[in-house]
Every structure is written in structure tokens, then in C-alpha cells.
Amino acid sequence: MINVILAVNDLPFIWKNATIEGKVIIVILGIFSSFAWSVMVAKTLQMRRAKKLNLFFDTEFRNQKQVLEIYDRRVAVEGCPLFTVYKDGCDQLDARLRTEANEGRKKEVSLKAMEHVKRALESAVAREALKLESGLILLAIAVSGGPFLGLLGTVWGVMSAFSYVAMSVQAGGRADLATMAPGVACALLTTVAGLLVAIPSMFAYNWLVHNLRVFTVELDNFAQELVSKMETEYLKDE
């Protein structure tokens, strides 16, 4: 604990003696970090809300007697992936069931019409998966790019430190630890900054990708179950 406090207290001195290049890289890493954390928080809240709404809708869906019962009630559930898939499929089925005079619904649809419904459900599943996946590329960039930017700053800083020592020796100075240490410490700060960006992003990215896969499987399973119920109620026997 004492070592951590001492390290934090050393940061102003290290920053003051850092090169312009090192400061620029640290600022860039700070911007990366702010974007990464905003994505982490936003995606976590989005997935938690989607999971909660999916649970409520799934319970309601299984309690309905007919597949279009919820759809006919004109319910709207924003941010619920299962409902969006359900609504897109029901929109397509309802369009196929409508009579030409638009006086009501037919009792059956053809196999060809049901294929259109299946494709609409597949498209809805893909769109919802992309919505949940949006923004994760920023975390992937932070994970892969953060350490390399930090390493670039470290290599550049060490190079500058040795160049300064070499010029100091040529001018009659000494090449001792006191001369070299500030420059090396400043150079290592960029590596620390890069790791502080990459490590949280890595854990968050893996957790979000896992949850995304779970959501995608749930959407696929729901779409298949929905199609089965639609076929049972409305598919015409050929």
C-alpha cells in the first residue's frame, strides 16, 4: 500500500520530466481510455436491460394462447431483442394472412409465404445481434492498440534518455544513474498507461462477447420456436 502511494506521488514529477512525444502518447491513451470506459458502461447497461426485458417478454409469450395474441394487442417494448424479432415475424405473417379486401385474416398461409416469414425472422435476429455488437470494436482497438502505443512511447523515451546522456557525456558531464533515471522513468510511464487502458478493456470485451453469444443463441432459439408455432397454427397442408 505504501509503495502504491509513493508511486502515485511520483506521477507529477515523472509527468513534468516527460518528453513531448511521451505526453502526446499518454494523452491519446487517456482519450482511448475514456471512450473504452464509456463503451463498457453503455454496453453493460444495454445488455442488462435487454436481458431483463427478454425475461419478461418470454414469460408473456409463453402464456399466450395464440401466436399473434401479443401482436394484436399492439404492445411496444423498446430495447427488447426478443420482442423486436417477434414483431418483425408477426408483421410478415400478418401481411400474408390479410385478404385482398383487407377485411380480415385468412386461416392459412402457403409454404412459400411461411418461407418469407422465416427469412424476416432471420434478418431480425441478425439486426438485433449487430445492435448488441455495435461499439465492441472500440474495446478491441483499446485491447490491441493500447500496449503498442505504450511500448512506442517507452522505446521513444528510452531512446531520448540515452541520447541525452550521450550528449551530456560529450559536453563533459557524467553518465550515472541520476542522469539516466528520470528519462527512463518517464519512458516507462507510457507502458503503464497503455496497460491501464488495455487490461480493463480486455476483461470487459471478453465478458461482453460471451454475453453477446448467449443473446444470439437465445434469439435463434426463439425464432425457431416462433416459426414452429406459426406453422402449427397457420401453415396450409400441401
Ordered per-residue pLDDT tens for the chain, 238 residues: 434 443 455 666 666 666 777 788 888 888 989 999 999 999 999 999 999 999 999 999 888 888 889 888 888 888 899 999 999 999 998 888 887 666 677 788 888 888 989 999 999 999 999 998 888 998 999 998 898 988 888 888 787 777 767 776 666 666 665 656 666 777 788 888 899 999 999 999 999 999 999 999 999 999 999 999 988 887 776 5
Assess if residue 192 is contained within a domain.
Answer: no
Determine, yes or no, domain membership for 4: no
Among all chains, which residue has been given the C-alpha cell 377485411? 103
Domain that holds residue 110: 35-142+204-234
- Least Cα distance to 84 among 45, 102, 57, 44 occurs for 57
Residue 189 lies in a domain: no
Instruction: Indicate whether 7 belongs to any domain.
Output: no
Helices (H) and strands (E) in the chain, counts: 7, 0
Determine, yes or no, domain membership for 176: no
Question: 61, 225 in Cβ contact below 8 A?
Answer: no
Establish if 150 belongs to a structural domain: no
Number of structural domains in the chain: 1
In a domain? residue 11 = no
pTM, full prediction: 0.78
Asked if residue 46 is part of any domain, the answer here is: yes
